[in-house]
Structure 1
Amino acid sequence: MLTVDDAFRKFKSRLELNDREQANASARQNEVRDYLDTKFKIETSFLTGSYKRHTKTKPLKDIDIFFVLKDAERHYRDKAPSVVIQDFCDALVAKYGKDAARKQSRSVNVDFGVFVDAEDNTDYRILSVDVVPAFAKGQDYEIPDTDSGTWIKTNPKIHAEKATAAHQAFSNEWKGLVRMVKYWNNNPKHGADKPVKPSFLIEVMALECLHGGWQGRFDREIQALFATLADRIFDTWPEPAGLGPAISNGMDNARKQRARELLTAASRDASLAINHERQGRHGDALAGWRALFGKKFPLS
């Protein structure tokens, strides 16, 4: 029978991007970049977000692409953030259709209409990308935030550097653990609303909550992480670069309370699975982890 440790390693592997998914992601994001180059004066564009940091989980969606606009487009900076979001959305609707392009607070989401099967497989295709207009601001960037009606500063490079440092400090297991919790966060059993939103908050919290170094067991690290996330979900979690609004601002107290309850339940379920393993009930342990995480956690 598959051991729990082997199951976790297989689970971690299933959440990593393979060559076919990388190829599809590359083709899709280049397609969007090439098209928008014909619609706006763009200085440069680049991948960012959890895809770039290798903390994106599956099914693969919402790949972030920054579009740094030239000075010729500076007039947008003097207008409400909703203006540039609307214009980018209109341009993307012209190519992909009105049902595919959707305005978000800081980006435009483009859905490629990919079907996700019962096992969370997508035939190695990505579901969507997030298009983020931006202006350079020294070493940082300013992006539109329609929720606040202002332009906010950010620096994806600092985010990536902190994730890399955390990964190395945790024996190169940090990103895998983050992907696992993000996959749990996406589980349909939670309903339409993810427990933790945005999912980037999980990564931000893990920069502090995964500490003390890798102890060699996925099951205990995951159980402890769920418990710590539950305990600290009401804390204020600043944007990692120290530039924009706190990432935790995306959740009000009611959402945080719901997240605490679900994270606490996840920690409890993880403890039960660990106890099954301790008592020699390996099949029950694997079934417990599968029930907690979902379809991609292996039973054999």
Structure 2
Amino acid sequence: MVTVDEAFRKFKSRLELNEREQQNASARQNEVRDFLVTKFPISNSFLTGSYARHTKTKPLKDIDIFFVLNDADKQYRNKVPSAVIDDFHKELVGKYGEKAVRKQARSVNVDFGVVVDAEDNTDYRILSVDVVPAAVSGSDYEIPDTDKGVWIKTNPKIHADKATAAHQAFASEWKGLVRMVKYWNNNPRHGSDKPVKPSFLIEVMALECLFGGWQGRFDYELEALFATLADRIFDSWADPAGLGPLISDGMDDARKRRARDLLLAASRDARAAINLVNQGRNGDALKAWRALFGPKFPLT
């Protein structure tokens, strides 16, 4: 039987991208990019979001691709945000079908119809991508926000740089811990509604909530992180680039109360699992961690 520390290291590895997953992600995103460049005045496209920052958890879905509109063509930037979302949606429906394509506030989602099994496996395939139209704005970008009816500024490079700095400052364990909490956030035991939305908020909060340096124990770090996230879920959390709206605006007070309660419960469950090891009940501790996180947490 593996120790809890060995199980956590295996868990961390399971949440990392392997070569086959990277190959499928590359093929899928290139397929979408090659198609859209024939339909719109796109000067550049690139991967962004948690996939590019290596903080995306599994199953792999909603991989963000920025499509930068040509500077010479201002037709979309001078229109309401819904115009570009509507047009991208229309073209993607033509290729992938109505059921596979969905409008979102700032992107268009393309679902590839991949089935996730009971162990959260997808046969190394990604589930979906998010197509994000963008316009250059100096050294930053602007993306459409149909909920707010405006174009908002963002800078994926600043997001990535801050995640890298946090990871290095935490003995290269920061991204692994963030992926674990994001995986907890996806646990079906919470129902169809994730506790923390958007999941990017977990990453933003972790920039401050994971502090003091890596102490060498996944179990203690996660117990403390869950408790700190619960304690600070009502704080205002800004865009790390200092450009867009508050990331915490994605949840109202009712959602935040639910998130706080579930995060506190996760911290208590983590403490109970730690106590099981102290009682010499290693097998029961592994089962408790698996119940907390989900099927990617190993028992052997």
Partner SS, residue 273 of structure 1:
helix
Aligned to 1:160: 160
> Secondary structure of the equivalent of 1:142?
strand
C-alpha separation between the residues in 2 aligned to 1:92 and 1:72? Answer: 23
Contact 2:12–2:180, Cα closer than 8 Å, also in 1: yes
| Residues 267-297 of structure 1, C-alpha deviations (whole Å, 9 max, x = no match) | 0000000001111111111111011001010
Q: Distance in 2 between matches of 1:294 and 1:183?
A: 8
Q: Structure 1 residue 62 and structure 2 residue 54: aligned? A: no
Matches within 5 A, 1:108-127: 108-127=108-127
Shift of 1:75: 1.2
Q: Which residue of 2 aligns with 1:90?
A: 90
Query: Contact 2:66–2:132 (CA<8 Å) still a contact in 1?
Result: yes
Deviates more, 1:172-181 or 1:69-78: 69-78
1:51 has 2:38 as partner: no
Q: What SS does structure 2 have at the residue aligned with 1:44?
A: strand
Whole-Å Cα distance in 2 between the matches of residues 41 and 147 of structure 1? 24
C-alpha displacement of 1:72? 3.8
1:122-163: CA deviations, max 9, x gaps? 000000000000000010000000010000000000000000
Aligned AA (2:32) = V
Structure 2 residues without counterparts, runs of 5 or longer:
none
CA distance in 2, matches of 1:216, 1:14: 19
What is residue 171 of structure 1 aligned with on the other side? Answer: 171
The one-letter amino acid paired with 2:64 is D
Aligned position for 1:132: 132
For 1:131, what is the secondary structure of its paired residue? strand
Structure 2 residue 19 is matched with structure 1 residue 19: yes
One-letter identity of the residue aligned with 1:145: D
Q: Which amino acid aligns with 1:120?
A: D
Structure 2 match to 1:210: 210
The 5-angstrom pairing of residues 237-256 of structure 1 reads 237-256=237-256
Q: Matches of 2:237 and 2:284 in 1, distance apart?
A: 36
* Corresponding residue number in structure 1 for 2:219: 219
Deviations 1:223-254 (A, max 9, x none): 00000000000000000000000000000000
Look up the match of 2:287. Answer: 287
CA contact (8 A) 2:92 2:101 kept: yes
- 1:192 paired with 2:205, answer no
1:112 and 1:211 map into 2 onto residues whose CA distance is 38
Q: C-alpha distance in 2, partners of 1:36/1:72?
A: 17
Contact in 1 for aligned 2:105/2:146 (Cα 8 Å)? yes
* Deviation sequence 1:86-109 (CA, Å, 0-9, x none): 000001000000001100000000
User: CA contact under 8 A between 2:71 and 2:136: conserved in structure 1?
Assistant: no
1:236 counterpart letter in structure 2? S
Deviation at 1:38, TM superposition (A): 0.3
Matched AA of 1:253: D
RMSD of aligned Cα (Å): 0.5
Deviation at 1:71, TM superposition (A): 2.6
- Looking at structure 1, the residues matched to 72 and 96 of structure 2 have their Cα atoms a distance apart, in angstroms, of 26
Distance in 2, matches of 1:138 and 1:226, equals 38
Cα distance, 1:73 vs. partner?
Answer: 3.0
Which of 210-219 and 277-286 deviates more? Answer: 277-286
**Mapped partners of 1:226, 1:216: distance in 2:** 17
Runs of 4+ in 1 over 3 A off after TM superposition: none
Instruction: Give the SS at the match of 1:102.
Output: strand
Distance 2:10 2:282 in 1: 16
* Aligned partner letter, 1:127: L
* Equivalent residues, number: 300
SS in 1 for 2:73: helix
Structure 1 portions without partners, runs of 5+: none
Q: Which amino acid aligns with 2:79?
A: K
Q: TM-score, normalised by structure 2?
A: 0.99
Q: Partners of 1:37 and 1:227 in 2: how far apart?
A: 46
Amino acid at match of 1:138: G
Q: TM-score, normalised to structure 1's length?
A: 0.99
- Equivalent residue number for residue 297 of structure 2: 297
For 1:99 and 1:73, the matched residues in 2 are separated by 30
